[in-house]
Amino acid sequence: MKNKVLIITNESIFKNNENHFCDNLDIKSIPEELSKNFEITLIGRSSKKERYHKIQNSKIYAESNIFSFIKKINLILKQNICNKFLIISITPYTFLACVLFFFNKKKPFVYLRSDGFEEYKSIFGFLGPFIYNFMFIITSKISNFISCREHILKKNKGKIVSPSQLTDKWFKYTKPVSINKANLLYVGRIKVEKGIFSLLKIFKNINRNVTLTIVSSKKMHDKIKPLKNIKLLDSQNDDDLINIYDQSNIFILPSFTEGHPQVLDEALARLRPVIVFKEIEHVKRSRPGVFVCERSIFSLEKQIDFILKNFKNIQNEIEKNTDKLPTRKSFIKELENLLI
């Protein structure tokens, strides 16, 4: 008999008839992949806005407010419908869910995908870390942590996993690309903590011939003022997204905080060099093809020039290490081993 797993997320889920959609690919892929060996129930927040990724093979509840959110979780716990529990990220919603588990004498896994201290600081300023610290300390006492990086655990015990959306197709048929000018690519959410607005300020004053393609949910496009050297694209399926990576020659990740950015691995799988800023230089680790620069026009242009001048050599070094990149299959196996 399959274990029955309850997954709880703060992500917004859009319901259309009996179908459910989300923006975050993890919230789609984790339940779907785990459903091959587990019975999955997913609880998230209800959204009135359309979302892109259809979630399949799971029993899904999208709750409209914090009260119905907690009520639904409590009902499932009281009925003993599920015997394994996975909470994704620490937010006010999921923190209250974790406390509810404690009062029901159950200990969930809490999967930390990024450094919440840094995220809350970038969103709420100096008060942010204090808010997150309160939730983090209590959650650490009443749950089991899973994280994508050791430093996110803040010296607490926890299991380390390597998240990834990479499948076999990501490593096949990598295409050559022109390096006559810099064609930068950003794939991610249009949010302050992702550093995209900081990057756009640089682009307004950049002195060289360079373009930037931003791939994000269409509903976020109105947050960006049009510029002649910037192109906006909607979230894509894997085949389209691979083609977009292949049309760029440099991937840029301007985030102020990151744990294990999966888009970085996607870029390396397509043999595209990556630029990150100092705030997240830890994501480089020992991987060739990842370059760190200051958050300034001068430093960014200098790094772009270096990459374009040494492009083929950099690609050769990346290619030697693509077999070390985590895959979706290996990531899901890590989660399955924890939930068995």
pLDDT tens across the length of the chain (340 residues): 678 999 999 999 999 988 999 988 899 999 999 999 999 999 999 998 888 789 998 899 999 999 999 999 999 999 988 999 999 999 999 999 999 999 999 999 999 988 888 888 878 888 989 999 999 999 999 999 999 989 899 999 999 999 999 999 999 988 889 999 999 999 988 888 888 999 998 888 887 789 999 998 777 788 887 777 888 888 768 888 999 999 999 999 999 888 888 999 999 999 999 999 999 998 888 889 999 999 999 999 999 999 999 999 999 999 998 989 999 999 999 999 999 8
What confidence score (pLDDT) does residue 1 get?
Answer: 60
What confidence score (pLDDT) does residue 160 get?
Answer: 95
Nearest-angstrom CA–CA distance, 332 and 189 = 23
AA letter at 143:
S
What confidence score (pLDDT) does residue 29 get?
Answer: 93
Residue 124's CB is within 10 A of a number of other CB atoms, namely 13
- Establish how many alpha carbons lie within 13 A of residue 11's alpha carbon, considering only the half-sphere containing its beta carbon: 25
- Residues making up the chain, counted from first to last: 340
- What is the CA angle 19-262-116, rounded to 5? 85
- What is the CA angle 178-226-271, rounded to 5? 25
In the structure encoding, which two tokens stand for residue 212, read together?
Answer: 């930037």
Burial of 156 (0-12, 13-18, 19+ CB in 10 A): middle
Could you identify the residue written with the tokens 């705030």?
279
Write a three-state SS string for the chain.
CCEEEEEEEEEEEEEECCEEEECCHHHHHHHHHHCCCEEEEEEEEEECCCCCEEECCCEEEEECCHHHHHHHHHHHHHCCCCCEEEEECCCHHHHHHHHHHHHCCCCCEEEECCCHHHHHHHHHHHHHHHHHHHHHHHHHHHCEEEECCHHHHCCCCEEECCCCCCCHHHHCCCCCCCCCCEEEEEECCCCHHHCHHHHHHHHHCCCCCEEEEEECCHHHHHHCCCCCCEEEECCCCHHHHHHHHHHCCEEEECCCCCCCCHHHHHHHHCCCCEEEEHHHHHHCCCCCCEEEECCCHHHHHHHHHHHHHCHHHHHHHHHCCHHHCCCHHHHHHHHHHHHC
Residue of 23, 63, 25, 24 lying closest to 42 (CA atoms): 63
Ordered domains of the chain (ranges, CATH) = 3-164+329-339 (3.40.50.2000), 168-324 (3.40.50.2000)
Residue 190 makes CB contacts below 8 A (sequence gap 6+) with 196, 214, 216, 217, 220, 221, 223, 224
Across the strands, what pairs with 61?
43
Q: Specify whether the CB–CB gap between 87 and 98 falls below 8 A.
A: yes
